Chain A
Amino acid sequence: MNPNSWISKTRSKLGLFLQDMQIEHLEKNWLYLATAMIGFMVVILFIGAVFLHLNPPSHWETIDSASLHLGGEFAEDKLRAQPSELPDGTLQVKLVAARYGFFPREIVVPADKKIQFRMASLDVLHGAHIPMTNMSTMIVPGHISEVTTVFPKPGEYPLLCNEYCGMGHDHMWSKVTVLSQNDWDARKTEGKQP
Chain B
Amino acid sequence: MRFNFPKLRLMPHNKHFLERVAMSIENQSPEDHEPAPVGTMVLLVLTALGMTVAWAFLYFGIFLPRGTVS
Name the prevailing secondary structure of the A interface residues: mixed
Say which residue of A33, A147, A150 sits within 8 Å of B48 (CB atoms). A33
3 smallest beta-carbon distances between A and B, as pairs: A33-B48, A150-B67, A134-B69
- CA of A34 to CA of B45, assembled, Å: 10
Q: Is the CB of B69 within 8 A of A40?
A: no
- CA of A53 to CA of B69, assembled, Å: 8
A13 vs chain B, min Cβ distance (A): 13
B65 contacts the other chain (Cβ, under 8 Å)? yes
B26 contacts the other chain (Cβ, under 8 Å)? yes
- CA of A22 to CA of B32, assembled, Å: 13
A93 vs chain B, min Cβ distance (A): 14
Known: A25-B36, A26-B40. A41 touches B69 (CB 8 A): no
B57 contacts the other chain (Cβ, under 8 Å)? no
Chain A residues, Cβ within 8 Å of B59: 44
B56 — nearest CB in chain A belongs to which residue?
A44
Range of interface residues on chain A?
Answer: 20 to 34
Q: Which one of A54-62, A119-127, A168-176 contacts B?
A: A54-62
Chain B residues, Cβ within 8 Å of A15: 30
A148 vs chain B, min Cβ distance (A): 5
Say which residue of B28, B33, B63, B70 sits within 8 Å of A53 (CB atoms). B70
B41 contacts the other chain (Cβ, under 8 Å)? yes
Range of interface residues on chain B?
Answer: 20 to 34
Known: A19-B30, A30-B44, A33-B44. A152 touches B69 (CB 8 A): no
- CA of A4 to CA of B33, assembled, Å: 23
A41 — nearest CB in chain B belongs to which residue?
B55
Q: Is the CB of A33 within 8 A of B26?
A: no
Chain A residues, Cβ within 8 Å of B56: 44
Known: A22-B26, A25-B36. A55 touches B48 (CB 8 A): no
Chain B residues, Cβ within 8 Å of A34: 48
Q: Is the CB of B66 within 8 A of A132?
A: yes
A10 contacts the other chain (Cβ, under 8 Å)? no
Chain B residues, Cβ within 8 Å of A25: 33, 35-36
A133 contacts the other chain (Cβ, under 8 Å)? yes
- CA of A29 to CA of B40, assembled, Å: 11
B 31-66 binary contact with A (CB < 8 Å = 1; else 0): 001011000110011001001100110010001111
